[in-house]
């Protein structure tokens, strides 16, 4: 087993505040979605046999990606007592806004410290400069001229190709015909992210990538994947010399490479089966402990202890700070049936477990910073040691195996049926329909929430 750890009250009157109204709208929407018949979705390429490919080459595009150079929000805003922005900008616009109360050489120095991060990611905005003095305006102009040079030095295309090659290395060299994957990073930006009930605008890093799998001269499969990071207020993106921004860019490239490898070659879905309509659908391993619970609870608008995750998922309590997580073993009966009853076609089965901290955004929580990932688990269970008391987390698991000698993985476990129209593979492939019901939420939002015991005040 390998463990990977990344570097990284008062209650007033129950007034119907904006946050409450937002929560009520979200709750009503969740109830509506949960009771609605799912719309028709395109065929999933992961269902059924995949062509057996051997050596895979990765070819990167030789053009720079588009970036968000435009001003996102042209508002001056005023600093709140906490230092949070009530009118938030991003890029240089937010740098200027965040330094509005300073002056002189310090402002200029702070700009120069933080500017390279935004140059490297193309997230600088042409914005109204709030910092005083011609020097600061000149710095912004110089930064805009330097942006293109910074993007050229970053070499996003070749860096993503390198990481995709590393993700494909886990396949080994299975028997099969050679193929190649063509990739193109098309866009990098920082944009506003949904945060129900939040008083401060939140932003997320977005990376759009197009990829296609080619065998000979035939395009076997192609997709457009839009990575979106966890969200944070603008001030957090800038803190500690924009450390969060650097970390999320690093994680974004790695996650994008993983998704491309999985969607084009590795992902396994059994044929559609009669499901029991549980929160976790048939194509993911169902959890035995802790199991997800869904409800509509408007008390979360006021009281911390009742706040939920997306889809009305409760943070179910576990029995200790060292809980034992359990899930169904693989292959299941439906997998064996799909393989013609030949269980021996499935070999080298192991499990991969991931744990995340819960991140509060407004009146709900979502999947935040990754904490642990365990790979190579031989049994469908895992004891986690020394979790923090009175804390919220989300977990997920999947199986790794070989089917007829070809490496495959199941979908990460999630309560995807919390929204009747939610299809994680569809979101990853950038598929769109005209249905107002198809939200396309990232799969990570539906990982399984739980909370630890302790002498909790909320």
- Decide if 294 contacts 414 (C-beta within 8 A): no
CB atoms within 10 A of CB 341: 9
Closest CA to 205 of 226, 220, 222, 223: 226
Identify the three-state secondary structure at position 144: helix
- The answer, yes or no, to whether residue 342 has pLDDT greater than 60, is yes
Least confident residue range of 65-74, 408-417, 439-448: 65-74
Closest CA to 150 of 122, 131, 172, 175: 122
Mean pLDDT, residues 163-181 taken together: 89
d(CA 143, CA 299): 47
The pTM for the full model equals: 0.74
All domains in the chain, ordered by first residue:
2-8+17-45+271-451 (2.60.40.10), 56-66+156-240+251-266 (3.30.160.150), 68-152 (no CATH)
- Decide if 397 contacts 280 (C-beta within 8 A): no
Mean pLDDT, residues 310-324 taken together: 93
| DSSP run (H or E) holding 142 | helix 134-154
Least confident residue range of 40-49, 68-77, 303-312: 68-77
pLDDT in tens, 203-243: 788 899 999 999 998 999 999 999 988 887 766 766 665 67
Confidence band, pLDDT 50/70/90 cuts, at residue 29: very low
End-to-end CA distance of the chain: 36
pLDDT in tens, 435-444: 444 556 788 9
């Amino acid at each position: 087993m390998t463990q990977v750890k990344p570097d990284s009250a008062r209650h007033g009157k129950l007034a119907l505040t904006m946050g409450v109204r937002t929560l009520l709208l979200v709750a009503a929407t969740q109830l509506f979605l949960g009771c609605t018949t799912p719309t028709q979705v395109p065929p999933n390429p992961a269902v059924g046999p995949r062509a057996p490919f051997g050596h895979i080459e990765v070819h990167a595009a030789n053009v720079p990606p588009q970036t968000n150079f435009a001003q996102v929000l042209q508002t001056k805003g005023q600093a709140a007592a906490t230092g949070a922005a009530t009118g938030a900008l991003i890029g240089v616009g937010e740098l200027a806004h965040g330094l509005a109360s300073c002056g002189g050489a310090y402002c200029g120095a702070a700009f120069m410290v933080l500017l390279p991060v935004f140059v490297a990611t193309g997230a600088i905005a042409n914005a109204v400069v709030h910092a005083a003095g011609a020097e600061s305006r000149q710095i912004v102009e110089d930064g805009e001229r330097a942006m293109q040079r910074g993007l050229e030095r970053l070499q996003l295309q070749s860096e993503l190709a390198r990481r995709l090659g590393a993700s494909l290395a886990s396949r080994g060299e299975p028997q099969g015909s050679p193929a190649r994957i063509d990739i193109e990073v098309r866009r990098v930006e920082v944009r506003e992210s949904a945060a129900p009930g939040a008083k401060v605008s939140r932003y997320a890093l977005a990376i759009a990538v197009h990829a296609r799998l080619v065998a000979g001269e035939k395009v076997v499969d192609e997709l457009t994947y839009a990575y979106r990071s966890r969200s944070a207020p603008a001030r957090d993106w800038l803190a500690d010399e924009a450390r969060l921004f650097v970390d999320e860019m690093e994680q974004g490239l790695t996650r994008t490479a993983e998704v491309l490898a999985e969607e084009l070659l590795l992902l396994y879905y059994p044929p559609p089966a009669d499901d029991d309509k549980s929160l976790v659908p048939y194509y993911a391993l169902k959890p035995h402990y802790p199991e997800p619970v869904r409800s509509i609870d408007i008390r979360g608008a006021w009281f911390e202890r009742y706040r939920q995750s997306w889809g009305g998922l409760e943070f179910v309590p576990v029995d200790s700070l060292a809980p034992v997580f359990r899930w169904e073993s693989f292959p299941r009966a439906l997998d064996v049936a799909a393989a013609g009853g030949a269980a021996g076609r499935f070999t080298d089965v192991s499990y991969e477990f991931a744990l995340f901290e819960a991140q509060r955004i407004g009146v709900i929580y979502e999947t935040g910073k990754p904490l642990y990932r365990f790979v190579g688990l031989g049994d469908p269970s895992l004891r986690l040691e020394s979790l923090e008391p009175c804390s919220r987390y989300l977990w997920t698991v999947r199986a790794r195996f070989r089917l007829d000698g070809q490496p495959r993985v199941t979908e990460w476990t999630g309560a995807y049926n919390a929204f009747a129209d939610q299809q994680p593979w569809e979101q990853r492939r950038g598929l769109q329909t005209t249905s107002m019901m198809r939200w396309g939420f990232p799969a990570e939002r539906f990982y399984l929430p739980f909370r630890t015991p302790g002498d909790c005040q909320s």
